[in-house]
Amino acid sequence: MDANGPSRVVIVGGGFGGLNAAKALAGQPGIDVTLIDRHNHHLFQPLLYQVATAGLSPADIATPIRTILRGRPRSRVLLDNVTGVDFAAKAITTASQTISYDYLILACGARHSYFGHQEWEEFAPGLKSLEEATEIRRRVLTAYELAEKETDPERKRQLLTFVVIGGGPTGVELAGALAEISRQTLRRDFTNIDPGRTRVLLLEAGPRILASFDPSLSAQATADLERLGVGVWTESRVTDITKEGVFLGDERVRAATVLWAAGVQASKLNQHLGAELDRQGRVVVEPDCSLADNPSVFVLGDQAHFAHDPKNPGVPLPGLCPVAIQQGKWTARNILRELKGKPREAFRYVDKGQMATIGRKRAICEIGKVRFRGMFAWLAWLLVHIYFLIGFRNRLMVMLNWGWAYLTFRRGARLIVSKDWRAHDEIQPL
Residues at the contact surface with its own copies, assessed by CB under 8 A: 38-41, 57-60, 62, 64, 66-67, 70-71, 76, 78-81, 95-97, 111, 121-122, 125, 128-132, 134-135, 141-142, 145-146, 148-149, 186, 188-192, 268, 393, 396-397, 400, 404, 410, 412-427
SS3 content of the chain, % helix, strand, coil (to 5): 35, 25, 40
Supply the minimum distance, in Å, between the C-beta of residue 315 and its own copies. 29
Q: Which residue, 69 or 289, has its beta carbon nearer to its own copies?
A: 69
Q: Which residue, 388 or 402, has its beta carbon nearer to its own copies?
A: 402
Strand partners, 362: 359
Q: Is the distance from CB of 12 to CB of 39 less than 8 angstroms? A: no
Residues 398 and 99: their CA atoms lie apart, in Å, by 38
Q: What phi, psi does 297 have (nearest 5°)? A: -115, 125
Q: Which residue, 187 or 237, has its beta carbon nearer to its own copies?
A: 187
Q: Is the distance from CB of 180 to CB of 228 less than 8 angstroms? A: yes
DSSP helix/strand/coil, 156:
helix
CA atoms lying within 13 Å on the CB side of residue 167: 27
Supply the minimum distance, in Å, between the C-beta of residue 367 and its own copies. 34
Supply the minimum distance, in Å, between the C-beta of residue 330 and its own copies. 27
Task: Identify the CA nearest to 107 among candidates 185, 35, 12.
Answer: 12
Supply the minimum distance, in Å, between the C-beta of residue 187 and its own copies. 10
User: Which one from 132, 150, 173, 204 is the annotated catalytic residue?
Assistant: 173
Supply the minimum distance, in Å, between the C-beta of residue 95 and its own copies. 7
Q: Which residue, 84 or 215, has its beta carbon nearer to its own copies?
A: 84
| Radius of gyration of the CA atoms of the chain, in A | 22
Task: Identify the CA nearest to 264 among candidates 160, 132, 389, 168.
Answer: 168
Q: Is 251 a catalytic residue?
A: no
Task: Identify the CA nearest to 30 among candidates 67, 3, 70.
Answer: 3
Work out the end-to-end distance of the chain between its first and last CA atoms, rounded to an integer number of angstroms.
54
Q: Which residue, 3 or 407, has its beta carbon nearer to its own copies?
A: 407
Q: Is the distance from CB of 280 to CB of 266 less than 8 angstroms? A: yes
Q: Which residue, 81 or 354, has its beta carbon nearer to its own copies?
A: 81
- SS3 sequence, 60-84? HHEEEHHHHHCCCCCEEEEECCEEE
Supply the minimum distance, in Å, between the C-beta of residue 198 and its own copies. 16
Q: Per this entry, what is the length of the chain?
A: 430
Tell me the catalytic residues: 173
